Amino acid sequence: MTSEATLIIRGGTIVDGTGAAAYEGDVALAGDRILAVGDIGSTKAAEEIDAKGKIVTPGFVDIHTHYDGQAVWDRHMAPSAWHGVTTAVMGNCGVGFAPCKPADREKLVELMEGVEDIPGPVMHEGLNWQWESFGEYLDTLDRLPRDIDLCTLLPHAALRVYVMGERAIQHEQANQGDIAKMRELTRDAIQAGAFGFSTSRTISHKTLAGDLTPTLRAHEDELTGIAMGMKEAGSGFLEIVSDWNEPSPEGEFAVLRRVVEKSGRTAVFSLTQRHDRPDFWRDLMRMSNEAKADGLSIRPVAAPRPIGILLGLEGSQNPFSGTKTYRSIAHLPLEKRVAAMRDPEVRAKILADDPIKESTFPLIHRISFSKMFRLGSPANYEPQRDQSIAAVAEREGRTAQEVAYDMLLERDGKAFIYTPLVNFVNYDMSAPEAMMADPNVIMGLGDGGAHVGFILDAGFPTWLMSYWGRDRSRFPMEDVIRRLTSDTAGAAGLSDRGVLKAGKKADVNVIDWDSVGFSDPYVTFDLPAGGKRLLQKSKGYAATIAAGEVTYRDGSPTGALPGRVVRGQR
């Protein structure tokens, strides 16, 4: 072994990302590649990291994010980068910003605002629109160095609007000419570097005005044509989110199977336990495994805990944000708003108002108080049934609205109410546990970069390690790390990372397994146009290394920005 290493991580417990048993050893890096793992002999390097008592893992690959806008204006992909992620796949759920004609920019902004809760003013100020084609969008991203690598999917909504214009917005069926053009543009996008194609078939994806996503009713021939564009390019996977309703759950999955069969590409889909169909997710897992047995890769992507809304006075929504009285004071700084809400007269008016009548998010204000809980500090993501606002109200002889009102005012208005939307039908972790127990399931759905005002799940990697791997000991540490590295990298088509092995990309985490965890969620106003977002810092990450450079030490950025756009075909 020569002494050509640039960085050595010495004396750690190596968890190499394959699922193999952990062992003690060193990792030597040379530039942006791994030089050697295990016994590195007398190799020296100018920089060393003492990893004794810590685990050394590959950098994490997050397969489901929405940094499509943030990547244009920001060098730091927080919060994902704080949670060990060194590569993120964005452009999921069929929404994004390319391709896009100048006349259609507002349409895509409105859709992203409604689907992913990124405020319009933020995007209007932050997006420079130095592109029209998908390839030009990648070129724009390439000009800005950042702290992690980014892979991008071609979003169906942008593609459909680009080809069909207003006809796409009106959900008209694509004609053969439209399909041929989408197929051609898909091939071009894959050849330019797209990692695949994403689409949405759910009624929950709509603009703030209530217009459903343009891709909702796309027919099978359109999806097949687009997938054939990927086949012609020889690369790419399909990502889909669906309600699994049309023409039936089995019929919808059969459509996806036929698209995969004809194109020879792989597919992933979002898997959650819905409150209205609490057991249907098991049918989807069964159909996915049947496809696997038939040689087709159609894998579920699931969350390791409930996906939940954080309702608060600093967030974008709270149980009273739709009321007339609250909206009259919503513009006030937090301190003055809290003071107003403590006024008995204002309190009485807010509690008497209808929160649904004029709400921009009526779904939130229809959620039962039996599914709302005090988040607390430290954050409790596993509340018990008797801790719900409804249960507290019954015990205390008050209305649920009164209890929720007082919870919002705790910590001088910085407290949150936690509202699990999916994966919490039985008030426990049984659904996500069963999902994670299936080796065909991919860990994901953290949605980093999206839902900036009321959902904060980008720390799922930290949760998977701390809750399922350490605190509950439900899954072996080696398998937990495999799910965050080689499994997600393989699903995305990233063969050069996700494993600690000589020749692979030098993306590495050094983690204190015993202390890895979270700080409390908080709101900051650091987006373009003074926009606000929820963030949550991690604990226990001694170092994160991307392309051989230390980007974070003990959770703090070093200033190194080795992250680039990864091009699938290259």
Determine the pLDDT at residue 360: 67
Determine the pLDDT at residue 2: 46
Residue 183 has pLDDT above 90, yes or no: yes
Q: Answer yes or no: pTM beyond 0.85.
A: yes
Q: Same domain for 150 and 169? A: yes
Q: Same domain for 316 and 397? A: yes
Domain end call among 373, 390, 422: 422
CA distance 446 to 457: 5
Report the amino acid identity of residue 385: R
Q: Same domain for 441 and 359? A: no
Number of domain units in the chain? 2
**pLDDT, tens digit (0-9, with 9 covering 90-100), for 514-565:** 999 999 999 999 999 999 999 999 999 999 999 999 999 999 999 999 999 9
Stretch 173-183: mean pLDDT: 98
**pLDDT, tens digit (0-9, with 9 covering 90-100), for 298-333:** 999 999 999 999 999 999 899 999 999 999 999 999
**pLDDT, tens digit (0-9, with 9 covering 90-100), for 41-50:** 888 999 999 9
Q: Same domain for 115 and 244? A: yes
For residue 161, the surrounding DSSP H or E stretch is helix 156-164
CA distance 155 to 252: 20
Q: Report yes or no on 475 lying in a domain.
A: yes
Domain end call among 473, 492, 511: 492
Closest CA to 177 of 191, 163, 162: 163
Residue 114 has pLDDT above 90, yes or no: no
Q: Same domain for 188 and 74? A: yes
Residue 429 has pLDDT above 60, yes or no: yes
**Cα dist. 322→374, 408, 432, 523 in Å?**
20, 15, 32, 20
Q: Same domain for 344 and 403? A: yes
- Give the chain's end-to-end CA distance (angstroms, integer): 30
Determine the pLDDT at residue 334: 97
Q: Same domain for 472 and 417? A: no
CA distance 494 to 293: 23
Helix (H, G, I), strand (E, B) or coil at 444: coil
Q: Report yes or no on 111 lying in a domain.
A: yes
- Token readout for 107 is 């349409």
Q: Same domain for 92 and 212? A: yes
Closest CA to 54 of 559, 468, 508, 464: 508
The residues, any chain, with a CB within 8 Å of residue 316's CB and separated by 6 or more, are 117, 119, 452, 453, 454, 532
Helix (H, G, I), strand (E, B) or coil at 328: helix
Split at pLDDT 50, 70, 90, the class of 1 is very low
Q: Which residue has the tokens 């004794």?
A: 52
Split at pLDDT 50, 70, 90, the class of 36 is very high
**pLDDT, tens digit (0-9, with 9 covering 90-100), for 332-356:** 999 999 999 999 999 999 999 998 8
Stretch 264-286: mean pLDDT: 96
Whole-number percent of the chain with pLDDT over 90: 91
Mean pLDDT score of the chain: 95
| Contact by Cβ (8 Å): 271, 281 | yes
C-beta atoms surrounding 262 within 10 Å: 15
Closest CA to 326 of 297, 289, 352, 294: 352
Q: What are the backbone dihedrals phi and psi of residue 481, each rounded to the nearest 5 degrees, phi first?
A: -70, -35
Q: Same domain for 73 and 199? A: yes
CA distance 140 to 483: 31
Q: Same domain for 104 and 175? A: yes
Domain end call among 444, 477, 492: 492
CA distance 33 to 196: 25
Dihedral sign from CA coordinates of 333, 334, 336, 342 = positive
Q: Which stretches of 269-361 are DSSP H helices? A: 280-293, 324-329, 334-341, 344-352
- Token readout for 37 is 């793992």
**pLDDT, tens digit (0-9, with 9 covering 90-100), for 405-423:** 999 999 999 999 999 999 9
Q: Give the chain's largest Cα–Cα span.
A: 77
Looking at per-residue pLDDT, the higher value among 82 and 568 belongs to 82
Stretch 354-373: mean pLDDT: 83
**Enclosing domain of residue 158:** 61-306+425-492
Q: Report yes or no on 511 lying in a domain.
A: no
Determine the pLDDT at residue 225: 98
Q: Same domain for 172 and 83? A: yes
Residue 3 has pLDDT above 60, yes or no: no
Residue 570 has pLDDT above 70, yes or no: no
Residue by residue, DSSP assigns 291-315 as HHHTT--EEEEE-SS-EEEEE-SSS
- Token readout for 143 is 């000009």
Q: Report yes or no on 327 lying in a domain.
A: yes
Dihedral sign from CA coordinates of 157, 159, 164, 166 = positive
Q: Which residue has the tokens 């229809």?
A: 366
Q: What is the CA radius of gyration of the chain?
A: 24
Q: Report yes or no on 517 lying in a domain.
A: no
Q: Report yes or no on 535 lying in a domain.
A: no
**pLDDT, tens digit (0-9, with 9 covering 90-100), for 199-251:** 999 988 888 777 899 999 999 999 999 999 999 999 999 999 999 987 788 99
Which CATH number goes with the domain that contains 245?
3.20.20.140
Q: Report yes or no on 56 lying in a domain.
A: no
Report the amino acid identity of residue 350: I
Q: Which residue has the tokens 């999921």?
A: 92
CA distance 422 to 305: 9
**Cα dist. 19→475, 479, 488, 509 in Å?**
11, 5, 13, 16
Q: Report yes or no on 245 lying in a domain.
A: yes
Helix (H, G, I), strand (E, B) or coil at 206: strand
CA distance 111 to 95: 7
**pLDDT, tens digit (0-9, with 9 covering 90-100), for 467-522:** 999 999 999 999 999 999 999 999 999 999 999 999 999 999 999 999 999 999 99
Determine the pLDDT at residue 210: 79
Q: Same domain for 175 and 133? A: yes
